[in-house]
Amino acid sequence: MYMSDQVKMYIDKSSWIRRMFEEGLELKKKFGQDKVFDLSLGNPDLPPPKEVKETLENIVKNYDPSYHRYMPNTGFPLVREVMAKKITQEQGVKVNFEEIIMTCGAAGALNVIFKTLLNPGEEVLFPSPYFVEYFFYAENHQGIPKPVPTKEDFSLDMDKIENAITSKTKIFLINSPNNPTGQIYSEEEIKELCDLLIKKSQKLGRPIYLVSDEPYRNLAFDNEKVPSIFQFYNNSIIAYSFSKELSLAGERIGFIAVHPEIENKNFILEGLTICNRILGFVNAPALAQRVVANCAFSKVNVDVYQKRRDIICNILNEAGISFIKPKGGFFIFPRIPIEDLKFCEILKEKLILAVPGRTFGSSNHIRLSFCVSEEILEKMRPNFLEACEKIQNYV
């Protein structure tokens, strides 16, 4: 066989987002860039905050060849100090720089965490709908990915979570604001989840770790707040990324934050450090670390994403398509009246690209990204409405 069966399966599972992106490129060649409405990718399009450019200019102005040398696998201590202050402010729990490990984005962070914590056959539970690559990350490290259905509004279903936990459960993974739904789990939900994990951990005689994937934490709308997990659960770890809040997706920069009271903290920190190295990341990029150290408390203009969300919600309302209004991030996950592949095919006929919901565990939804301008969304409106009129023929 020319490649492993597992990798072939991953290609098949994850192909829809990439396929829609590639089809979009072909459509743009054929019909023109301004005639195609690509809502498939969550690729942040806002410019980074001005502090990013200022920091880069300062790095060049005061250039030192030593900037490129090896460093501790955990990252520059001064950078980790800044990240510790950031997490302390966001989580309301005092974190020290020793509890921070700089990583190649949140994806790198999650792989390091899973490599460190998982034994073969142990389960990683996460709410469904979910980011598709959670499956791959868990299986990378011989874990068993296990989606748990949410309620109709995409909030956590505690009964289903409790029933899903077994003697093999090692990690419960959350993502809030969520990709693809935009849901933010409330403080009440987080506290209830943590109480459940405490109870189940005591019964098992070992911790179930709560891992929070937080690339969208600072993209919350309507004055919504993303609750702290550190305040309610000691055996918790955060995977953080600056890809979205600083529009630095291509720089692959983020970090791991470990709760200061986690059980066996020193062993876990040692494990995370060596896994950062042996997985091939070695350390987070040096220049990107210097940038985020100066911009850790900055962010893009979130109001722009909120305005785009509102435009898409208005279009969906006009089209009679049911949806849960996103509280953060830059995706919406409307419920559709026909099968997702057919719906996406009809949209594509109108030069609109969306991702089938089956990619995220729900074939009666589609995902739309609002990483496109307000002008493009308004130009898309008549096309979307025409597509939805045609869909009525299939209902």
In this predicted structure, the answer to whether residue 15 has a pLDDT above a threshold of 70 is: no
pLDDT tens for each residue of 248-259: 999 999 999 999
CATH architecture of structural domain 50-295: 3-Layer(aba) Sandwich (3.40)
Question: So what's the pLDDT on residue 342?
Answer: 94
Question: So what's the pLDDT on residue 1?
Answer: 57
Q: What is the mean pLDDT of residues 198-204?
A: 98
Spacing of C-alpha 147 from chain mean position: 16
Q: Report CA torsion sign: 164, 170, 175, 179.
A: negative
All CATH 3.90.1150.10 domain ranges of the chain, comma separated, are 5-48+300-394
**CATH code 3.90.1150.10 for 5-48+300-394:** yes
- C-alpha distance from residue 31 to each of 27, 37, 260, 348, 378 (Å): 6, 11, 55, 12, 18
In this predicted structure, the answer to whether residue 225 has a pLDDT above a threshold of 60 is: yes
All CATH 3.40.640.10 domain ranges of the chain, comma separated, are 50-295
Least-confidence region, from 8-17, 106-115, 209-218: 8-17
Q: What is the mean pLDDT of residues 175-201?
A: 98
Question: So what's the pLDDT on residue 395?
Answer: 65
